[in-house]
Amino acid sequence: MATFKLIISADHEIFGNGSGDVNHCMVKPTKKLQEIADKYGAKITLFTDVCEYWVFEKEKPDWANAIKSQWVDFIKNGHDVQLHLHPQWLNYKYQNEFIVDNSLWRLPNVKNSNNDFKLTIFQLLEKGKITLESSLLETNQNYSCNTFRAGGWCIQPEQEILEALIALNFKIDSTVAPGNSNPNPHSWFNFENAPNLPFWFVKDSVLKKESNGILEMPITTIKPDFFTNLYLLIEKVLQKHPKKPENCIGKAGLGKKSKISKIIEALKPSPKMLNFSDATTAKEMIYIAKKYIQKFDSQKGDIPLVMIGHPKTFGNYEAFDEFLKWASSNPKIEFSLYSDLNIETA
């Protein structure tokens, strides 16, 4: 029977359009996330956006120092920090607020000729890896930056990215959210045809299973039926969990949706990620985890149960606490980091 390794991953960043502040949208809610995890012996992997970090080093050194201090604290306390990239920060302007380049929202759009840092995709990944390892090897000599998640899930077309990751000795990509897609031409991704597997190796496509390469460890997703989706939506409305941490002000995305379109989108059953943030209720977290366990329970060995969330939209502390309390008492679940799985023989 399978053992489900609960990997709690947090995309560590302010909002993609440059709004928000590091203290209220990153450091404080991430610290709260860590405190709740430590209560149950759970582990957190920060996917930290180094692109914005490089900008803050120039424009907001106190913000950069706060982020780096959090990286060090995480490594000291048995958690992990891995690579995340939002390349719209590679072209920016700062005039009392940050203005980013939305033409670079998607990582595959990066070329050395179209960003102020003069980086190719390979060089961007290499610089990110060097930034984290140079910052954290002193804290833990065994630290390795070997796991990646593309910002906004925008990894496709992915051949150049995967080739660079493999060449740089990355072991894991954890970008794919099976069944999910985004049709927006500026931020598109499409994982609707992802393999129906808990993990698989990839070389030139994140959707094509290979015998070797880099391990694709997908975000856990489950598609509820209409009535379950409606029940979870009603429960979310009734619980009224905060959608953001206290004093975190900012908005994500490349445009506003109308209230009607949001309602229609919410009512339409679609694959839901196992998400600790965004006012998600404990009932929804538990439902997704239970269904995923049922789906792959007949397999042998370690099965990754990858949870995702964003500190900048993490205000539902009680719900996350309730979920971890449930998970800690479930004999099928063990708390884990990506590196805890034996990826060579998975």
Per-residue pLDDT tens for 23-79?
999 999 999 999 999 999 999 999 999 999 999 999 999 999 999 999 999 999 999
Check residue 253 and give its pLDDT: 64
Region 134-151: what's the mean pLDDT? 97
Residue 346 domain-assigned? no
Residue 331 preceded by cis peptide, ω within 30: no
pLDDT band at 267 (very low <50, low <70, confident <90, very high): low
Query: pLDDT by residue (tens digit) across 212-261?
Result: 999 999 999 999 999 999 999 999 999 999 999 999 998 876 655 555 66
Q: What are phi and psi of 331, to 5 degrees?
A: -65, -15
Give the domain CATH number at 105: 3.20.20.370
Check residue 266 and give its pLDDT: 66
Residue 345 domain-assigned? no
264 Cβ contact list (under 8 Å, min separation 6): none
What is the number of domains present in the chain? 1
Residue 153 domain-assigned? yes
Residue 128 domain-assigned? yes
Region 306-333: what's the mean pLDDT? 98
**E strands along 136-291, which residues?**
147-150, 172-173, 181-182, 189-190, 200-202, 214-216, 221-222, 272-273
Structure tokens at 233: 């939506």
Residue 107 domain-assigned? yes
For residues 257 and 275, give the distance between their C-alpha atoms in angstroms, rounded to a whole number. 21
- Mean pLDDT of the residues in the chain: 94
Kind and range of the H or E element at 10?
strand 2-12
CB 24 within 8 Å of CB 15? no
For residues 190 and 188, give the distance between their C-alpha atoms in angstroms, rounded to a whole number. 7
Residue 332 domain-assigned? yes
Check residue 1 and give its pLDDT: 77
> 1 vs 119, which has greater pLDDT?
119
- pLDDT of 346 above 50: no
Residue 103 domain-assigned? yes
Is the torsion defined by CA of 173, 61, 140, 169 positive or negative? positive
Beta carbons within 10 angstroms of residue 40's beta carbon: 15
Domain that holds residue 205: 2-340
Query: pLDDT by residue (tens digit) across 272-316?
Result: 999 999 999 999 999 999 999 999 999 989 999 999 999 999 999
Check residue 126 and give its pLDDT: 98
pLDDT band at 345 (very low <50, low <70, confident <90, very high): very low
Region 321-331: what's the mean pLDDT? 98
Residue 58 domain-assigned? yes
For residues 79 and 288, give the distance between their C-alpha atoms in angstroms, rounded to a whole number. 24
CB 213 within 8 Å of CB 203? yes
| Position 296, amino acid | F
Structure tokens at 226: 């209409």
Region 197-220: what's the mean pLDDT? 97
Query: How do beta strands 92-94 and 98-100 pair?
Result: antiparallel
Structure tokens at 234: 């009603």
